Structure 1
Amino acid sequence: MTSNRHISWIVAEKFFILSVLVAVLFAILSDEIAQTLKLDQSQLGLLSGVFFITYAVGQLGFGIALSLISPRFILAGTAALSAVGTILFAVSDSFGAAIMARALMGIGLSSTFVGVIYLVGANYSGNFAFMSSLSQSLANLSAAAIAILSALIPFLVDFRMPFLIMGILFLINAVLLFLFLGKSSAGNSASSPKANLGAALKTSVTNPQFWAALVYYSGLFGSLLAFADLWNIQFQMNFFKHSIETSSVMNAMIPVGVTIGGLLAGAWAERSGFVLPARCFGILTVLFFIVMLFIPLPEFAAGAMMFLMGFGFSGSILGLTPIQKNLPATAVPLATSLVVTSAFIFGGVIQPLIGGAIGAPHRASILINLLQGDTPDFGAYQRGILWLLFSVVIATAASFFFKEKTNKDSF
């Protein structure tokens, strides 16, 4: 039984890692994708945004379904759907086909995070914190590794071959999930959550800590998705004229920062409570964006800033703690799914908005005139950064409504 649970976690973790790698590949190859499919900046942002919105909606549905249906069927089925979407994207020759493919990929991959966390909770309840942290860390480090290696792998100059390979890997993973995940769901023996869904929803939405957590997590993690999974590489290439190889390596510093910062944030929160760390990480992220808004950084300093940005963004994980601390246990799963889903929806919505801001004709504005750099290109970059800065400012403000613990029974 012990070996079975390890194998189950390994194949589910592989699915999760592959989903992160697909997002990183899209960011790395976004310029080539835009050129091949003849997309403008708004269309490129929409292509990425559709993925995150469908991912978010699917994540909520699968998060609820995992306690009703065997993870074997959910994860194997969505892995197969991911293969279809990824292969379709690899052979797409129009914006419409690419949009359809990205939507299928978003739905298929939406089970990965909730799936691996569900299995960790079911099979490693005594070591949940360590195993969930390990699962996240492996995905972040894999993302950093593929970004760094992309500078050395010639076939990454064409987006079709890497996505075709990923589609084949998803298909193999679907078979492994079906063979090794087992036939029963650990959650099926529990009382049906369907009967308590309405009560859990009411408990969540009437608790102020739920809304504070939603705004904080969505603002920070959603901005991380928009920045690291698309626009940072575009910014580095289009506005600072770095090569795709240099831009990819710089972007790889973000998941490294997230990994290290997340471990430190968790340790700090465990020792002194989560409220102060959440506020400090949010404030740091705001300060880092202000620096990026005003100062065109040289290459080495920009790479260091990417690490610091990831470090600041890592505080987003603390946004889930108010739910654990302040909501009844019966409401925690649904509330967590809603908060995580909102972050992906926000990340999907803000991506095309950033694309529209940097691609729109320059308009006279007191604020933009004040921020305008030496070239119009830098001014366009600043307009994109402003969307992210506003998001993390609002997220940080939400952390000042956090409470360490309230009376759960009062909501």
Structure 2
Amino acid sequence: MSCGCRIDLTGIAVPVQEAVAVPRQSNEAPPESDLLPQPSAPDPRPMPRFLPWFVWGLGACLFGYGWFHRVAPGVMVDTLMGEFQVGGAVIGNLAGVYFYTYAITQIPAGLIVDAYGSRRIMAASALLCTIGALVFSMADGIVESFVGRLLIGLGAGPTFVIALNLAAVWCPRDRLALLGGLVMSFGVAGAMLGQVPLAWGVEAFGWRSSMYTAMLVGLTLTAGTWMVLRLPRPKPRAERPHGMAANIKSVLRRRDIWVLTLGGASTMAIMLAFGGLWAVPWLTQVQGFSRADAALLLSVNALGWGIGSPLIGWVSDRLGRRKPPFVGAMVMSVTTFAVLLLTPDLPAAAIYVLLFLQGLGTGGIMLIFATAHDRFAGGQEGLSAGIVNTGIMVGAASLQPLVGWVLDRHWQGAMAGGARVYDAAAYQSGLSVLIVCGVVAVLAGLMLPETSRED
């Protein structure tokens, strides 16, 4: 969600512009490392005009690359089941390990960027993603595939914070919000590449060749990040921030952070657990779509999210309120998903519309991060966003295998190509867990602390 986060699909977590915080003043000299610079500091040396955009674009592409890997297992579920001879719960955990590792990097990522700047960690992230993709593509067994996914998650975790920091350091300060939104667009594009194009690749060349090709893309990004390491810094270094342990305790003591975390995790449940893993099997096994058509439907779902995020944010800004548009968006999300899951014999056009509207409603996640910014203004914006994003990732990692476990419990013994096939009743039982999460999102929205533009 990944992730304010604003198609991972699985995404998703969802990231925040406030991840780049202004450090506190200190009498100590900063260490000799690539520290996070003040966005307002003057450029100490001239450079080609295209260079800042190249550096920022590289970080945005790396973020999109991470989102590609986030959703990739969703179009390979039955293939991986047959390849490794495992059930739905194991494949759910294989996809979920990305979210666990992604989640544990959220808060540390901000600290590392504050201490060492973004370019070194960007190079390390790209390298980890590339190695993980290679290990996954060459896995002989399920254990090796888990190792590959774990490395990918560790590499992808810091990428949103990295991209925002690059925007603040290398690009005009007054365009930070615009560039943050464009970073999210790169994420949606990466997620879409992990659906229809990847599904075509898996059908035409097999999953291993497709993932090996993805590894080569990662290798290209890694080479670019190492080139960026050799560039001079455009702005002076800033001092290292202090008091992070005290800030963490202060944030965790407040009720608001727990309401926001619950709201964020439940908001993203359908998008990340259904769209990120179980949508393609449901669409192919229950609704009769081909793998490529199912992936196209997921792209429509992601497109709705990509449009809904700025649209709902714009409505909130115009109203000067967060709660009403968030609750309305959550009602839309859970209602459309319930109709999609529980109504038999839906025409294809209705499925397209419902998935688009569900994605549109999921765009309300941006108001969770906006509220976190409002309620924790004054030096805790990035930390609160990291905690919320961690909750989103943990929720996704837990729900994907939980749905798989319920499916296994209702499995009737059908097999196809060495993989388990679940019937409509099994999917209704398993995916109803996500309807409950949608209801929780509505209730969390009603408990949200109201803020306004003046706050």
Please give the TM-score of this superposition, normalised by the length of structure 1.
Answer: 0.89
Number of aligned residue pairs: 397
TM-superposed CA distance for 1:166, in Å, is 1.2
Counterpart in the other structure of 2:349? 300
Counterpart in the other structure of 2:418? none
Contact 2:308/2:363 (<8 A) preserved? yes
TM-superposed CA distance for 1:156, in Å, is 4.9
TM-superposed CA distance for 1:69, in Å, is 1.1
Contact 2:273/2:399 (<8 A) preserved? yes
The 2-side partners of 1:104 and 1:188 are apart by 33
Counterpart in the other structure of 1:351? 400
Deviation readout 1:182-206 (Å, 9 max, x if unpaired): 668899844433x221222123122
The 2-side partners of 1:306 and 1:64 are apart by 37
Alpha-carbon spacing, 1:142–1:171, altered in 2? closer, same or farther (3 Å): closer
Counterpart in the other structure of 2:188? 140
Answering whether residue 427 of structure 2 is matched by residue 378 of structure 1, we say no
Deviation readout 1:347-383 (Å, 9 max, x if unpaired): 01110000001111479xxxxxxxxxxxx82211111
Deviation readout 1:381-406 (Å, 9 max, x if unpaired): 11122111111211221111223339
Q: Equivalent of 1:391, from 415, 424, 437? A: 437
Contact 2:403/2:433 (<8 A) preserved? yes
Answering whether residue 362 of structure 2 is matched by residue 316 of structure 1, we say no
Alpha-carbon spacing, 1:104–1:231, altered in 2? closer, same or farther (3 Å): same
Answering whether residue 166 of structure 2 is matched by residue 119 of structure 1, we say yes
The 1-side partners of 2:176 and 2:161 are apart by 14
Contact 2:64/2:189 (<8 A) preserved? no
What is the alpha-carbon root mean square deviation over aligned residues? Answer: 2.6
Amino acid at match of 1:320: F
Q: Equivalent of 1:158, from 193, 197, 206? A: 206
Q: Equivalent of 1:266, from 310, 313, 321? A: 313
The 2-side partners of 1:231 and 1:188 are apart by 47
Contact 1:67/1:188 (<8 A) preserved? no
The 2-side partners of 1:49 and 1:145 are apart by 20
Deviation readout 1:120-143 (Å, 9 max, x if unpaired): 233343122211111112321343
Alpha-carbon spacing, 1:288–1:48, altered in 2? closer, same or farther (3 Å): same
Contact 2:127/2:222 (<8 A) preserved? yes
Counterpart in the other structure of 1:370? none
Counterpart in the other structure of 1:372? none
TM-superposed CA distance for 1:238, in Å, is 2.4
Alpha-carbon spacing, 1:198–1:91, altered in 2? closer, same or farther (3 Å): same
- What are the residue-to-residue correspondences of 1:187-198 with 2, within 5 Å? 189-193=237-241, 195-198=242-245
Moved more, 290-299 or 150-159: 150-159
Contact 1:257/1:309 (<8 A) preserved? yes
- What are the residue-to-residue correspondences of 1:84-95 with 2, within 5 Å? 84-95=131-142
Amino acid at match of 2:182: L
The 2-side partners of 1:187 and 1:55 are apart by 29
Deviation readout 1:140-162 (Å, 9 max, x if unpaired): 13433553345655755511011
- What are the residue-to-residue correspondences of 1:180-259 with 2, within 5 Å? 180=228, 189-193=237-241, 195-259=242-306
Between the two proteins, what is the percent identity of the paired residues? Answer: 23
Equivalent residue of 2:105, what SS?
helix
Counterpart in the other structure of 1:130? 178
Contact 1:79/1:108 (<8 A) preserved? yes
TM-superposed CA distance for 1:321, in Å, is 1.1
Contact 2:69/2:152 (<8 A) preserved? no
Contact 1:83/1:171 (<8 A) preserved? yes
Structure 1: any 5+ residue segments left out of the alignment?
A: 364-375
Contact 1:72/1:183 (<8 A) preserved? no
Answering whether residue 98 of structure 2 is matched by residue 51 of structure 1, we say yes
Contact 1:141/1:256 (<8 A) preserved? no
TM-superposed CA distance for 1:102, in Å, is 1.0
The 2-side partners of 1:344 and 1:389 are apart by 18
